[in-house]
Chain A
Amino acid sequence: DAGVIQSPRHEVTEMGQEVTLRCKPISGHNSLFWYRQTMMRGLELLIYFNNNVPIDDSGMPEDRFSAKMPNASFSTLKIQPSEPRDSAVYFCASSPGTGIFDGYTFGSGTRLTVV
C-alpha cells in the first residue's frame, strides 16, 4: 500500500490567492482527518470525515477554509483567500474505522507558506 498521499509537498503562494491541498487516503480506510501543525499551536484537528461525510468541522478556523470529500479516495482542503497566518504544515490522516484500536496513518504533509 502506498500509504496516505498528499500533494503538493510544498506550496508557496501570495496572500489573497486560493490554495488547494489534496489527499488520497489508504484504500479501505473509512475515516479521514485534516490537521494543521504550527510551532505555536501544535497539532490542531481541522475537520473529520467518516464514510465521506463531514462529522466534525469545529476546528476549521474560519469561512476561508473549506474541505470536501467527494469520494472515498480523495479529499481537498481549500483556503480562499489565503493569509500569512495560514502558513503551517497541513497533514491528512486516514483510519480504518472509529474503533479505539484504530490508529491514524498520516501523509507526509504539505508545507504551506503564504507570503
Chain B
Amino acid sequence: AQKITQTQPGMFVQEKEAVTLDCTYDTSDQSYGLFWYKQPSSGEMIFLIYQGSYDEQNATEGRYSLNFQKARKSANLVISASQLGDSAMYFCAMRAYNNAGNMLTFGGGTRLMVKP
C-alpha cells in the first residue's frame, strides 16, 4: 500500500524567505510520480509541480522546486522568496502502478502561513 506523510501540520515563514515543506512516501514500486498541490483559502486545488521517480534532475517551476531524495523516499517542496499569496494548504501526493486504479494518494497537508 502507498502512504504519504506530511509531518508539519502548520508552518510560519517570513515574507521573502525560503521555506521547505516536508513529504515522505512509502511504496514498493519502482515507477511512481510525485505531485504537489496548493489549496488557498478560496478552496480550489492547484497543481504546482511534478517529479517522476526516474527523473535525475529535481523538478523546478518558477519559485517552486522539489528536493527529491529517492533513497530517503522524500519529496520536499521548496518555495523561494515567499509571498503573502503563498499562504495556503499544501498537499503532497503520489501515483504508482501498484493497483487496479493506481490513483493519487494524498498526504494530510501542511498549512503554510506567510508573515509580512
Which residues from chain A sit less than 8 Å from chain B, CB to CB?
A: 33, 42-43, 45, 48, 50, 55-56, 89, 91, 93, 98-106, 108-109, 111
Please encode chain B, from 51 to 79, with 1 for each CB lying within 8 Å of some chain A CB and 0 for all others.
Answer: 01100000000000000000000000000
User: Which single member of B47, B50, B91, B108 contacts A105 (CB below 8 Å)?
Assistant: B47
Please encode chain B, from 80 to 100, with 1 for each CB lying within 8 Å of some chain A CB and 0 for all others.
Answer: 000000000001000111001
Inter-chain contact B100/A56, CB cutoff 8 Å: yes
Q: How many angstroms from the CA of A43 to the CA of B47 in the assembled complex? A: 15
CB distance from B55 to the nearest CB of A (A): 10
The verdict on B104 contacting chain A, using a C-beta distance below 8 Å, is yes
Q: How many angstroms from the CA of A106 to the CA of B47 in the assembled complex? A: 9
Assuming the contacts A33-B103, A56-B101, asked whether A106 and B45 have C-beta atoms less than 8 A apart, the reply is: yes
Inter-chain contact A100/B103, CB cutoff 8 Å: no
Question: What's the tally of chain B residues with a CB closer than 8 Å to chain A?
Answer: 25
Assuming the contacts A42-B109, A48-B103, asked whether A100 and B47 have C-beta atoms less than 8 A apart, the reply is: no
Q: How many angstroms from the CA of A108 to the CA of B44 in the assembled complex? A: 5
Q: How many angstroms from the CA of A50 to the CA of B103 in the assembled complex? A: 11
Q: Would you list the 4 A-B pairs with minimal beta carbon distance, nearest first?
A: A106-B45, A100-B33, A56-B101, A43-B106
11 A–B pairs (Cβ distance < 8 Å), ordered by A: A42-B109, A50-B101, A55-B100, A100-B31, A100-B53, A100-B96, A103-B33, A103-B50, A103-B95, A103-B104, A104-B104
Q: How many angstroms from the CA of A42 to the CA of B45 in the assembled complex? A: 13
Q: How many angstroms from the CA of A43 to the CA of B106 in the assembled complex? A: 7
CB distance from B9 to the nearest CB of A (A): 11
Q: Other CB < 8 Å A-B pairs besides A43-B106, A106-B37, 7 of them?
A: A42-B106, A43-B109, A98-B102, A100-B96, A100-B102, A103-B95, A108-B43
Q: How many angstroms from the CA of A50 to the CA of B101 in the assembled complex? A: 9
User: Which single member of A98, A100, A106 contacts B52 (CB below 8 Å)?
Assistant: A100
Assuming the contacts A100-B52, A100-B96, asked whether A42 and B101 have C-beta atoms less than 8 A apart, the reply is: no
CB distance from A74 to the nearest CB of B (A): 21
